[in-house]
Chain A
Amino acid sequence: MPSNAKHPVEEEDDLDAQKDKYLTFHIASEDYGIAIVHVTEIIGMQRITQVPKTPPFIKGVINLRGKVIPVMDVRLRFRMPGRDYDERTCIIVVQHNDATVGLVVDTVSEVLDIPKGAIEACSTISRDQDNFVSGMGKVGDSIKMLIDVHRLLFDDTLEKMAAGQNA
């Protein structure tokens, strides 16, 4: 795919302007990317109200300017060990299928252009945490793992785990 030619029409069309753009963030030693169309905003750490009987990766709910949204710890979702929150910890607010969810990540890096041609499909060595990665984006020498938001938020395992928790 050729590099984006700057047509004025593209400026007008929001979706087009957001195409191929990914917000990258850092968890443990890896970089991840999330399609910018899903991202509503990035906020600092807030006081989280815990909700009983939810899976451990649901940290609770926050008050986002009068709207109550759940917050998911992406580390715990990836079944990585938890980590104390610090001043670099961020909440990425994403929206998908009418659900608004805050994602807790170690740090937010930058917005990158990753054209389709630079994305390689994920090899299917099926381990659970690979389920959330839809492709590998090559940016220079580094690799950004691109997150499938739908799977992250709505994967069956979430329901299974939730059911397991409640039983």
Chain B
Amino acid sequence: MSGDDSSFSFEISPELVAQFMVEALEQLQEAEATLLKLMQSPDDAAALQLVMQYIHTFKGNCGLLALSQLQQASHAVESLIIAVQDGEVESAPAVAASLETIDSLREGLNNFAQGGPGEVPDLDQVLAHLKKIQGISAPEAQDRKQQEAADSGEMVRAFMEASEQLRQESQRISSRALELTESIRLLMDSLPCDAASQVFQALSAALSACQDDASRQSFRPVIVGFCDKLDNFAFALLDGVAAWPDPAPDIDEISCLINKAAERQPQAAALAAPLAGIASAPAAEIRSEASAPAPQKPAAPAKETQSKAETRSESPAEVKPEAAAKARREIRVDVDKLDRLMNLVGELLISEIMVTHNPDLAGLNLPNFERASHRLRLITNELQDLAMAVRLVPISGVFRRMSRVIHDLKQRSGKEIRLELKGEDTEVDRSVIEILGDPLMHMLRNSADHGLETPEERRAAGKPEEGCIRLSAAQIGAEIVITLQDDGRGLSRSRILAKARQQALIEDEGTSMSDQDVWQLIFKPGFSTADTVTDISGRGVGMDVVRSNIDKVKGRIEIHSEAGKGASFVIRIPLSLSTIDGMLVKVGHVQYMIPLLLIRETLRPHPEQLNTRHDGQEFLRIRKEVLPVVRLHLCHGIEPRTQRLDEGIVIIINLFRGPICLFVDDIVSQMQTIVKPLAGQICNTPGISGFTILSDGQVALILDLEEVMQLTHKS
């Protein structure tokens, strides 16, 4: 076929390419997810249909940009899926091959994104593999097809071009649409495909019959549908098969439109009659002769064909309006705009507080003002919730990638792995999604590679051979909790310690370290316990990336492990990175904001509750607990109002390591605020995670208590 793309008159703008890339990747992702589903339930007809649709749209889009290699590969997948649908090919190998091809398609897309021509690596092999599975290996068929393909190369391009023009024309159907259908029909006439030619004959007849705009408008969906079919037709020509799939329903559709038009225009009615004749012609007549080499259903009597055509056309007809409705209700928005919106809402919230809590209003009795400001508050809160909700996306996209990762791991490692997903519809902030993908992938690989045993080992340990990894997400309070749990061998304390010593990450034997501290060692850069570096993991770059990425979204990782029973990793990420409910406290002249979520209670201690250890560490006895006291003024070197615990306030804070008593001077207030990052790295004080602006315009510091604790541990 001809590789000369310059004859396409269609202009390709950068915006179009960008949109194409986004959509194409999405289509591949969806197709991939559906194929993975098919791995589990190979007979899911609806899923097959979905894959078809995604691949088909993908192919069409590639056609628009004249990416012929991508087109060919996706076309081969499509025909394979159709063969599966028709029961000619078994589902499992076809799905596996399609999955592999999707990878190739991605690479082709990447090539295009990097300015290449969209080259699919080893296209010939890919195509041959797909064809082999489809069972088209007869060399004579291949030869014949290639020769025909060469002949029809020109034709295919002509069709593609015509269909593209017709598609554009369908926006405002005019007399030009008629010309186009006529020229397409003429092209068709030169092919041994009467069915297609008849369809377009009917269409051009119908178009010429309809003079008024209203009835022409009603043709729009039909014409667009025909354009798709025309594309298919052109692709079929590549395979040497000039077949129009079942023209009967198409002609029915056209005659139905003409009937409608006839109600307005009597002269069109005359045309409906011959059309009905075409529609009822026996199937054998309207089937193309050239379709013989293709794997096709045997010629059936008209009735059967029609009923089959109906059932076939039903499922896309059901799916499509839904998808179309959804597409219309969604728009793509630049993330920058969303960020700006969120910032502005934040500003609004601060300004609102600055107005309603203005110091000038202190002591005044203003009932009307109170009412108005209460209303303002409600609106700003709702606006804030909405602005945040806009940024939320379900985590399912990330989870789907994980099922793909497991699919590949299974094949490479030879282990039996089952991945259970839960809570896929949990919604998280966009920025979190972006950051979460890589860490989860690393952790999943680690669990599969280091955590899960080989089937033999598992059998010996009395476990089912199939290892199980559970990945779940849930919103708990103001946090998103993501849990990755495996039923493998669990973390080995002795091996981690040995490795840490070897890598000089610890100096002593580590016998005094708590399990939790030992587990945290695996997040150190360069740490890896795998004895051999495998293809999957073991390069020691995984877990520290995990840690740093999760730090970026202010998240934390907990590890729980039980030898022989498995390990679980719990990632906790604050729901929103931009607002916190906090308690404002004062130490000396510095005001701190403490996230309310961490606060258990506040109290003013009695002197008799206090004990001091020999090294000076103070403890408070609160009911039955003995909790360490952390003096914030010492951590940050501030002159406090008071040094005496019974003159200040103690805030009991739940930290990862357990509760602590934070000693501060006073509590100022409790409020919801916007977190402001500091522009630039100039004053990066440990223990301060950000800033917030108070109602009087003053800045307060947001405390990061985990970091404060690390600070006190060091000193």
Contact = CB atoms under 8 A, between A and B. Distances in A.
Interface string A65-81: 01111101000000000
Interface string B341-358: 000001100100000000
Contact of A68 (B636, B679, B684, B687): B679
A52 interface: yes
B683 interface: yes
Given A49-B700, A50-B589, A53-B685, A67 B679 contact: yes
B701 A51 contact: yes
Contact of A63 (B590, B677, B680, B698): B698
Contacts of A90: none
B658 interface: no
A99 B350 contact: no
B121 interface: no
Interface residues of A, number: 26
A91 interface: no
Contacts of A162: 684
B135 interface: no
A18 interface: no
Interface in A45-60: 47, 49-54, 58, 60
Given A63-B698, A100-B680, A68 B693 contact: yes
B678 interface: yes
Contact of A69 (B637, B680, B686): B680
Given A52-B636, A53-B636, A63-B693, A68 B699 contact: yes
Contacts of A62: 699
B699 A70 contact: no
A61 interface: yes
Given A52-B638, A53-B636, A99 B682 contact: yes
A4 B691 CA distance: 45
A101 B685 contact: no
Interface string A131-161: 0000000000000000000000100001000
Contacts of B676: 66-68
A153 B682 contact: yes
A166 interface: yes
Given A52-B638, A66-B347, A99 B679 contact: yes
User: Max chain A CB contacts within 10 Å: which of B677, B688, B691?
Assistant: B691
B9 interface: no
Contacts of A53: 636-637, 685-687
Interface string B684-707: 111110010100011111000000
B685 A51 contact: yes
A69 B678 contact: yes
A51 B683 contact: yes
Given A63-B697, A68-B679, 8 more contacts: A49-B698, A50-B590, A54-B685, A63-B693, A68-B699, A69-B678, A70-B680, A99-B681
Interface of B: 346-347, 350, 589-591, 636-638, 676-688, 691, 693, 697-701
In the A-B complex, the 5 residue pairs with the closest CB atoms: A99-B680, A52-B636, A49-B699, A68-B691, A54-B683
26 contacts: A47-B697, A49-B590, A49-B591, A49-B698, A51-B685, A52-B638, A53-B685, A53-B686, A53-B687, A54-B685, A61-B691, A61-B699, A63-B697, A63-B699, A66-B347, A66-B676, A68-B676, A68-B677, A69-B680, A70-B679, A98-B679, A99-B679, A99-B681, A101-B682, A153-B682, A166-B686
Interface of A: 47, 49-54, 58, 60-63, 66-70, 72, 98-101, 153, 158, 162, 166
